Structure 1
Amino acid sequence: MSPARPEVTVVGIGADGWSGLGAAGRDALRDAEVVLGGPRQLDLLTAECTAERVRWPSPLRPAVPALLAEHAGRRIAVLASGDPMFFGIGRTLVEVLGPEALRVLPHPSSASYACARLGWALEETEVVSLVGRSPARLAGALYPGRRLLVLSAGAGTPEVVAGLLRERGYGGSRMRVLEQLGGERERLLDGTADDWPHPPGDPLNLVAVECAAGPGAPRLSTVPGLPDDAYEHDGQLTKRHVRAATLAALGPRPGELLWDVGGGSGSIAVEWLRAHRTCRAVTVERDPVRAGRIGRNAAALGVPGLRVVTGAAPAALTGLPTPDAVFIGGGLTAPGLLDACWAALPAGGRLVANTVTLESEALLADRYRRHGGELVRIAVAHAVPVGGFTGWRQAMPVTQWAVVKPS
């Protein structure tokens, strides 16, 4: 028995339009009764495609189920830019219909075209999409010597990229804007972020960046334990060495969600998110001033997707999505807080709590007796001048309880 016919055929198309399509893509579009796509993609079709042409509405994602249902029973084709499964409509359609309902015919992606033009190895090049996303995401990818491809939101994106590079101390970075890749009007613009000379051009563009750090660029690591001065704070900050130990205990894994309760400056949630681009985090902070500061820190360090909830826990935890891990950095003595966090964790979830007070330490010691895990004291001392000599200045020791919730 042959497999059931897919409900939707997704056809990737490039700037070269109909002439750049393979035989399967052309056949699918000729056979379709309705073709869905953006205005630019639909305009690339020729008279050989006789199907009804329907433009995607804006915003797109909420409208997809109803639009597909409206044309149910018809042969539907969807046009996508390049590879539909590379930052494209394909992901949304899989979420709505399931993969078994789709037939995907990819075209080379803009990233593949760009690397071919530049002579870059695609597997060694990081891709950052700014389509519908905050430009601050780019800050998290800036490291000396790295090569980046930035998927543009429009004609103004290159200047936005140049401005962010200058702001972050990477003004000497070479930038090349590749427009209309694969099409007759393909064009390459060259320059540096410091003196980007080109006015806005074609909205269909991609920005290639060769990162060059200047003297003022922050030196940030890919592992937890960023310098304390990387954060804006009022003293409510999990300090560098304790922060590194805390992230090690939390153990972020791709796709996982963290609750950071008592966010302070947001450093734990920020470094959780920096561990992998698919990690997610919610930080809960009762002080509105600090909550605003957390948002600024997240943007400055390249993780603007951090969700900040302003309110006092445990009440502010109500309705939050189920966490994979919880960090409690403050407010341990608030009635019901520890119980609420423990109850919210699924089996296998991790909880880490830090404290410097005897009262909170007693709570953690009690939970350690009841639930096990690991109870440690972290002591850090810094070398400081003592007259003409050097001695140790001891920071307040931190008691940390780390536990995995049993099945």
Structure 2
Amino acid sequence: MSDRVLLVDDDRAVREALGQTLELAGLRPVLAGSFIEAKDHIGRDFAGIVVSDIRMPGRDGFHLLEHARKTDPELPVILLTGHGDVPMAVRGMSAGAFDFLEKPCNPSDFVAVVQKALKTRALVLENRALRREIRRGDAAARMLVGTSALSEQMREAARAAARSSAEVLISGPPGSGTAKMAEVIHLLSAAATRPLLKLSAATADAPMLADTFSRAEGGTIFLDEIAAMAAGAQFALIDLIDSNPGIRVIAGTYRDLEGEVQQGRFNPDLFYKLDVIRVRIPALKERPEDIPVLFRHYVAIACEQSDLPMPEITPEVIAELMAQDWPGNARSLMNAAMRFAMGLDAIGPERSRLQGAAPLGLVEQMARVERSLLIEALQRHGGNATEAAATLKLPRKTFYDKLARHGIRPETYRR
């Protein structure tokens, strides 16, 4: 969380006294005596907040509030008022001020309001950084979110598959996102401007498949849960693939397709036609360090879609998320994030009941929480182990011992 506070007051004694109060609270005040001195510190990505007196010679606190709101509407501005200036403060609140305090300020009340504003600011900046990360790079970087080594391997597998026009078999547990992976591969491929048609293999019959191929126009067809396709449709699909070489078929499955072939439930010829390039989506429990990242990503999307403010995601929330196995994978995590964003929080024991999953034991929960905190510290400091260890107040050797125990590599998180 940012700890920078731009403190603006034309009274030097008041300014320095308030600055000292902030320093004693472990914060970093930047002192300014006027609008002119303050305005150059304010930018869209200013990692802090503004505290300003209202009454100042020349351009006053209202002018500074207006300047801040124009620069960044989400930058918190706290206004300081003298005795009897409460109506002015109310005017400031209606103009978009975060809060107001009456001078002389009680130090504890002053620090509490400042810390609340800083926390709000940190959430805003975190949300923006997440959106920039989503928009940056190719479709794999934007759509396959995660910081784990397994996630990076998954993105590379998608890029490699996209470089070919051969059929692809995507495997992953229920809820892992095989359809999204198919979309990523299509968007990265030479056929990106052509259609991507999605079809449930369980309901597909020969005429439906023929119609789909006729509409594909040199694009991509994704067949979801190919193992559920009826035998007659499987034979029809073989003929359609053979007679339409310019159309790529991507199939998704959560079942062991080779096992289905051995059990006589899936056509071996179709299996070999589809099993040219394999892409595997790992379960969330294999990459628990991705859980906080994905959860924040889904919460941000839910808030943006519903025009809701970004709620605070506390370490306690993360700890509870990390304590779950998530048998429903990304889909169930996304549903939990949507409920959280809307204030319908089902995190914790209630989620375990809803998912039918027994909570982990204390030792496993603590291990997951520790792993999450280590990863979050590395992410915050761009993979700098020294700074991450200092944040967690751990000796360097202890920090590295813990990284080794959890199989975490700092270089994975370098920017």
Tell me if both proteins adopt one fold, taking TM over 0.5 as the criterion. Answer: no
More strand by share: 1
**Structure 2 length-normalised TM:** 0.23
TM-score, normalised via structure 1 length: 0.23
**Higher radius of gyration, 1 or 2:** 2
